[in-house]
Amino acid sequence: MSVLQVCPLLPSVERALTEGYQAVRLFERPGFLAAHGDEVVAAVTSSRFGVTNEQLDAMPKLGAIVHFGVGYETTDLAHARARGVVVSNTPDVLNDCVADLAVGGLIDAMRRLSAADRFVRRGEWNHPLATKVSGKQVGILGLGRIGRAIARRLEGFDMKISYHSRTPVGGVSYQYVPSPVALAAEVDVLVVATAGGPATAGLVSAEVLDALGPAGYLVNIARGSVVDEPAMVAALVEGRLAGAALDVYADEPNVPPELLDVDSVVLFPHIASATHETREAMGELALRNLRQFLTDRTLVTPVE
């Protein structure tokens, strides 16, 4: 019986996998599956790498794919389920840090904080005026756990909050808007917090960006695939959007070079969950999923 570590992970997680499970590090032994794939019963991976269908099919006894991260779009969930493989992720433990970064990016983009920092470092002082944050209208695309955490924080800025999700969300007072275009048309800031994957690819289209308009701001802490990146880049470069805060990109780690010198855009290197506390909590939950699967074939946080 083997546990497979697909990709590099948090050092504490790697130590636990090595010491507790003698996990095989696939990224260091690329030929392992061809010779020993029939020995693997569980695979531990990250949201970035997932498990490819080719890898999955090389492991006939695989029973579980454990993701370090809330996203799992890099694993073909339908294919895994057709094979009887259960899949887990690490929800909830990263909600606060992702929401914090979304709000921080929103404030940075609207008040031009990073741009002002660069201004001072160049020896300048009379920085151009920015945009007020408090009291603005904000639209949240995807009112799941993270989207609701973002909304709660923005309430403290006296913002009017509306949202679009596949279906209206019960138990919230925020206004539901029936389409991304309609949502973008009525807000000052559009915050993208929906899941990634084929179902949401290009959801923030050129039409949505046009509806947001030259006074509108875009914040994306979801996945780069959710936004039509060429359309977004063109809108920012041409001044058809007021600004953006981006933590994710379509082809990570590659950032569109056209944005590197655009002062109205704040660029983060996919760090929304990148705090010591959150990453350790993610690792602990991933290991709990692995341990429980190997004990009784169930998961703590299965993907539904």
- Residues recognised as catalytic: 223, 252, 270
Is the CA virtual torsion 98, 242, 210, 252 positive or negative?
Answer: negative
Q: Is 173 exposed, middle or buried (0-12, 13-18, 19+ CB in 10 A)?
A: exposed
Residues 233 and 223: their CA atoms lie apart, in Å, by: 16
Pairing of strands 2-5, 40-46: parallel
Instruction: Dig out the tokens for 5 from the structure.
Output: 């570590």
Q: Is 126 within 8 Å of 174 (Cβ atoms)?
A: no
- The backbone region for 17, taken as left when phi is positive above 0, alpha when psi lies in -120 to 50, beta otherwise, is alpha
Residues 60 and 189: their CA atoms lie apart, in Å, by: 47
Is the CA virtual torsion 227, 233, 239, 243 positive or negative?
Answer: positive
